[in-house]
Every structure is written in C-alpha cells, then in structure tokens.
C-alpha cells in the first residue's frame, strides 16, 4: 500500500511511535512561527526552560495581532519579542511586514517540511505542500528547544476536486462548501488532503485560503500537492531552489473520500455565528449591510486584492457601507501601489488598514450595534468582532466587493463578465523588515527588555489524591476559545498579564464567572461537544488555571485545546455516558475519588455529586506521556524534570 502526502511527510519526520491511526506519535519540527498575541507567553516559556538557542531550521516571530497601540502594553510586548528573538536565534518580522501566514507562505514555506505555529491557522502552509499545524505556545517553545511535537496519528480525508471555478466563484467558496459538507467537527482527528484534476486550476494563494480555513473543520491540518503551480509560486518569490515535488502514491488509501465539482459551485456565505452555517449568497440577496471587511490571513493575497480592486474600479462604496481593506503583507501592499490598484481602492472609498490581522480578531473596526458585517475572514464566532449583537457573515472577496458597492448582500455572478486580473511572473521581494538574530558569539550581549505589563507565568501543580470542589460553570456545545478567553482591542494587550486577563475569562458566557471562580477557590467546568474549538490560544487554559480550575469535563474536546489543558496541568475528562451531562448542574459540589490514582494509569474515574448515591464514570483518554505531564503539574515542570 502506498502513502498519502500526509503520511509521506510524517514518515520523514517521525521521531517515535508507530504510524497507526489513533496512536500518539512524535514529530521532528523543521520550522516554527509565533505571533504577538501568543508569542510573548511562548518566549517566556522558552526562557523558563533555560534554552539558549533555538534548535529548529527556522523560527520566526511575527508582529501582526496586537498592533493597535492605544497604550504602552502592546509596544512593550513587541520590544520584548524583538529582543528575545535576537538573543535566541529567531528571525523577527517587524510590525507592518504583514500577517504571519501570508508572509510565511511568501518567504519561508517549503514543500515537505513540518511547521508548527502558536496560531490555529498555521495549516495555511499546506497550500504550499507543508504539514503546518497549529499548537499552543508551550508546544512551540518545546519545539524551538529541540523537542518533538506530539500528535495523535491522524486519519487522512481526501477531497477530490474536479472541474474549474466559474466566474466570481473563488477558493473561499470551496472551503465554505467543505464546511457545509463536513461541519466544524468533521475534521477532528484528521488531516484533509486535496487532490484531483481540479487542483491544477488553483494557484498557491487559492490553495492557502482553503487550507487556512481547514482549522474551522477541527482538522489537525490540510495539505495540497506540491506541483508545477507550487514551482511557479516559489519561482515568483525567487525561491525556486526550495521546490520539491510532492504527490500521493497512486495506491495510497484514505479513511474517507469526498468529491467536489468546482464548476458547480455558487457564491456561499457562512451565517452567524458559526463557519459551518453555510447558505447560498443568492438566498441572502437584498439584505441590507452596514460594513464590509476584506483581508485577514484567509483572503489578503495579491490575487485577492487585485480582484477586489478590479470590481471596485470606477465605482463608489455605498454611502451606508464602511469598507476596510487589509493587505496581507508589505509585499502585497507594495505591489498594489506599483500597479495602480491601490489608487483604485482608495478612489472607491475603501479605508486602507495596515498589513495586520486587524478586525479579524476584534482589533478595531467593530461593526455598529446590531450591524451586518460581511467579512472575508475565517471566523464569525459570537462577539469576536467586538460587537456582541452584530451579525457577521463570512464571504469571498468577490461577494464582499459586490455587496460593498450595492449596500446589500449581492451575488457577484449578477455583475456580468468577471474582470480578468494578471498575476506577475515575479514578485517584488524586499525582506528589509525581517530582522536576523544576533550571531551565537554576540547573543550574550543582547539585553531582553521587559515592560511592566509582562507578568510571571502561572504554573500548575501536581494533582491531589482526591478532588473535591464546585462545578463552577456549565456550558453547551461548540464552546470556542473566544468564549473562554475573548480577544479584541480591550483585552489582547493583557496577553502577557494573566492576572489582569483573568477578569475577562468566560465573560461572553457568564459575566460573573471570574469573581465566582475566585470566590470558589476554583473548581471544575462542564462542557458539551467540541469544547475549546477555534484558536490555538493557550490563554484559554492558562487563565482558567490561574482561576483555580483543576479539571474540565466535556462530551468531546477540540484537539489543540485539550493539548493546552494538559500542558498546564488541567485534567480533561470525557463523559462516558453523554446523558450524564443533564444530571450535572452548575453549583453542584462534586468529588472525584482516587483523582491522582486515576491520572496515574486508570481509564476511568468516578464523579460523585453531593450526597447522591450515584457515580458518574469519566474517561481519561490519555497517553502515558500525557499522564506524566499531568502528574508533574504541567509541561514546564515535566520538561524541567526530564532535563
């Protein structure tokens, strides 16, 4: 039996374990990336492990999230990351250079290599044939220090693409169709591998849009072949020598297969408040809109921007609509200016924002109250935009541009013949905003600068023999990391200050939670299916740890979040019988008898509630390594103990 693309990359990077579905494996990591919302904590953890110099082939620190500097906090974090990167052998992408995934695709991505990043959309790199995986900052720090990255050997789902996209239908519509097909849990435990004749019709930036939003499927990663289109992209970037051809073997076997006929797709939109709540744009036509945002790591490439500029050329944004555009990188921004497309965007009335994530993570440009916002982003979770009662729809750049002109939801296929855009054969390359680290002999001379907002990392502790506490919060299905630890312009500046950050924990669900958790001296949280979906932010585990949360019980967990819980010493427990969810109530006094003993080796633990004469069985689906981490009180303690 032959190998899939995913299996080939894993086989070439396997450190330990067997390539058997469901078994824990360890991978050698070639590259890492961080961004500033997660990077400060990742580098504090790297320092705590007393690592002098990174051991990866390449590590890059990007500044692209916390760029709204309304106080000293974000600027202080930027300087800390800049100096710690210089000292420890990490390249530093300065503010203004662009969004981490767009820049990494342009300048550093290499087919067949492994990449983990402290951002859940790191699978964007799959568009160039890398195995890119989102991870918590602590896992990234361990990889930078030379440690392996552990995952469960994934299933591989093949999506065959046939045909070619019609006018005004784009890669965003492809991934929205996949989300409609599989849902936000459909990729859990899997890597999505794209193949078929239709792949040849998609450029690397289009492929990257699709792999970027594979994160919304809950997938470990997504990957495309590395072919002649990949070579053309790398050649345009002056990186032809990085090309490696990469295809699955003809007799490769997949765990599931689906086929999508690109020629049959129509413009689609993800409706509030989930990326898989997908409807045809034609069914929404005529709905009044208030705002359009174009950009983010999903749709900010040169081809996306040129398409939007061509649609807007000679027209004016509707007076009731506010349109923002965020180019994905300095390279994209520069080339828009050089070819005149930037002037077309400005003339139409677009508000040009900096090359950063911006509105995607609630960093400015929030909609008006009850506003309807069309965004080319990857997530439309409740309150993520910064406006709790806004209706956020995820759409393609084509749909966004057409609607911005009309003032209502507009199917772009109604515009007639699509404008043709020409992508240059070579791109403008200027890496002057990527700083190289100090050489080994001079690294000792670098002083790491720390602002007053940077606080020590909370550390877990070894589990007690018995656990008796309150069930301090009960939540439902698909709780996201935005529910647990919101982002936005008011909160993100405190990512390196966990005590302050704790004031916002779970406030989207329950504004009283932080105070109740402190008053209860911590406790247990109960969730439904897919608990912790969304971003890789380890703060969604780190802050509950600070508030005294010792365990989370759920029907099922999202991959990155359960790893983050374990990394910080919070025990993830599964309900063996999902019906028991209804028997547990917020405020219950609960006990887990033999808590430490169960972590040490048992498959089951038993929860008792108050004086009730019943035991609720809880599953501990943990590897031996994960049990050791929990017994040590978290990854930092475990790593130190291992030397």
Please calculate the CA angle 214-219-223 and round it to the nearest 5 degrees.
Answer: 60
Mean pLDDT of the region 115-128: 97
Q: What pLDDT score does 235 carry?
A: 98
Task: Please check the confidence at residue 64 and state whether its pLDDT lies above 90.
Answer: yes
What is the spatial distance between Cα 558 and Cα 479, in angstroms, rounded to a whole number? 10
Instruction: Kindly report whether the peptide bond that precedes residue 138 is cis, defined as omega within 30 degrees of 0.
Output: no
pLDDT digit string, tens, across residues 275-313: 999 999 999 999 999 999 999 999 999 999 999 999 999
Cα 412 to chain centroid distance, Å, stands at 29
Task: Please check the confidence at residue 538 and state whether its pLDDT lies above 90.
Answer: yes
Task: Please check the confidence at residue 456 and state whether its pLDDT lies above 70.
Answer: yes
Task: Please check the confidence at residue 522 and state whether its pLDDT lies above 90.
Answer: no
What is the spatial distance between Cα 70 and Cα 307, in angstroms, rounded to a whole number? 33
- Over pLDDT 70: what percentage of the chain? 100
| 40 half-sphere exposure, CB direction, 13 A CA radius | 29
Closest listed residue to residue 265, CA positions, set 410, 168, 200? 168
Q: What pLDDT score does 602 carry?
A: 81
Q: What pLDDT score does 611 carry?
A: 82
Please calculate the CA angle 631-641-32 and round it to the nearest 5 degrees.
Answer: 95
What's the whole-number average pLDDT of the chain? Answer: 96
pLDDT digit string, tens, across residues 354-402: 999 999 998 899 999 999 999 999 999 988 999 999 999 999 999 999 9
Q: What pLDDT score does 400 carry?
A: 98
Distances (CA, A) of 417 to 168, 285, 413: 9, 19, 8
Domains of the chain: 5-264 (3.30.499.10), 269-412 (3.30.499.10), 467-642 (3.20.19.10)
120: left (phi over 0), alpha (psi -120 to 50) or beta: alpha
Give the pLDDT band (50/70/90) at residue 489. confident
Q: Which of these ranges, 56-65, 345-354, 461-470, has the smallest mean pLDDT?
A: 461-470
Task: Please check the confidence at residue 612 and state whether its pLDDT lies above 90.
Answer: no
Task: Please check the confidence at residue 630 and state whether its pLDDT lies above 90.
Answer: yes
Task: Please check the confidence at residue 643 and state whether its pLDDT lies above 90.
Answer: no
What is the spatial distance between Cα 606 and Cα 210, in angstroms, rounded to a whole number? 42
């Amino acid at each position: 039996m032959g190998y899939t693309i995913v299996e080939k990359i894993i086989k070439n990077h396997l450190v330990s374990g067997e390539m058997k579905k469901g078994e824990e494996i360890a991978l050698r990591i070639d590259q890492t990336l961080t961004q500033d919302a997660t990077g400060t904590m990742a580098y504090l953890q790297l320092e705590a492990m007393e690592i002098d110099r990174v051991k990866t082939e390449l590590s890059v620190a990007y500044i692209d999230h916390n760029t709204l500097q309304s106080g000293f906090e974000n600027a202080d974090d930027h300087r800390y990351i800049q100096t710690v990167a210089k000292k420890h052998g990490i390249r530093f992408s300065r503010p203004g250079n662009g969004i981490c995934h767009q820049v990494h695709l342009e300048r550093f991505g290499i087919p067949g290599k492994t990449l983990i990043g402290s951002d859940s959309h790191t699978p964007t790199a799959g568009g160039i044939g890398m195995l890119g995986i989102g991870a918590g900052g602590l896992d990234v720090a361990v990889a930078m220090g030379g440690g392996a990255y552990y995952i469960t050997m994934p299933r591989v789902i093949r999506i065959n693409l046939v045909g070619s996209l019609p006018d005004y239908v784009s890669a965003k519509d492809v991934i929205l169709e996949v989300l409609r097909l599989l849902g936000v849990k459909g990729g859990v435990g899997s890597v999505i591998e794209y193949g078929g004749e239709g792949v040849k019709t998609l450029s690397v930036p289009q492929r990257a849009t699709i792999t970027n939003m594979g994160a919304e499927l809950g997938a470990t990663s997504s990957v495309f072949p590395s072919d002649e289109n990949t070579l053309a992209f790398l050649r345009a970037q002056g990186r032809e020598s990085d090309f490696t051809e990469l295809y699955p073997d003809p007799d490769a076997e997949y765990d599931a297969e689906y086929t999508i006929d690109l020629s049959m797709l129509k413009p689609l939109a993800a409706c509030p408040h989930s990326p898989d709540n997908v409807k045809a744009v034609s069914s929404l036509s005529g709905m009044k809109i208030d705002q359009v945002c174009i950009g983010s790591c999903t749709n900010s490439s040169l081809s996306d921007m040129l398409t939007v500029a061509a649609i807007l050329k000679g027209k004016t944004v509707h007076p009731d609509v506010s349109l923002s555009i965020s180019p994905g990188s300095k390279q994209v921004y520069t080339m828009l200016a050089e070819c005149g497309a930037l002037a077309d965007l400005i003339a139409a009335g677009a508000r040009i924002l900096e090359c950063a994530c911006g509105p995607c993570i609630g960093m400015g440009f929030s909609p008006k109250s009850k506003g309807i916002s069309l965004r080319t982003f990857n997530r439309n979770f409740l309150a993520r935009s910064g406006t709790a009662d806004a209706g956020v729809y995820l759409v393609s750049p084509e749909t966004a541009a057409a609607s911005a002109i009309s003032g209502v939801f507009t199917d772009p296929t109604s515009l007639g013949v699509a404008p043709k855009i020409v992508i240059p054969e070579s791109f403008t390359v200027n890496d002057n905003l990527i700083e190289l680290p100090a050489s080994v002999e001079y690294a000792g001379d670098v002083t790491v600068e720390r602002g007053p907002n940077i606080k020590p990392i909370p550390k877990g502790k070894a589990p007690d023999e018995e656990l008796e506490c309150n069930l301090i919060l009960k939540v439902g299905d698909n709780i996201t990391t935005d529910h647990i630890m919101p982002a936005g312009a008011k909160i993100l500046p405190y990512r390196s200050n966990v005590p302050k950050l704790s004031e916002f924990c779970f406030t989207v669900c329950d504004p009283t939670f932080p105070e109740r958790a402190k008053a209860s001296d911590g406790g247990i949280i109960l969730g439904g299916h897919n608990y912790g979906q969304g971003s890789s932010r380890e703060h969604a585990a780190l802050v509950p740890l600070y508030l005294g949360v010792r365990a989370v019980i759920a029907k099922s967990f999202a991959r990155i979040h359960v790893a983050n819980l374990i990394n910080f010493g919070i025990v993830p427990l599964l309900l063996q019988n999902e019906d028991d969810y209804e028997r547990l109530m917020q405020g219950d006094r609960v006990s887990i008898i033999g808590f430490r003993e169960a972590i040490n080796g048992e498959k089951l633990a038993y929860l008792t509630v108050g004086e009730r004469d019943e035991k609720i069985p809880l599953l501990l689906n943990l590897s031996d390594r994960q049990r050791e981490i929990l017994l040590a009180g978290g990854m930092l303690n475990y790593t130190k103990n291992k030397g």
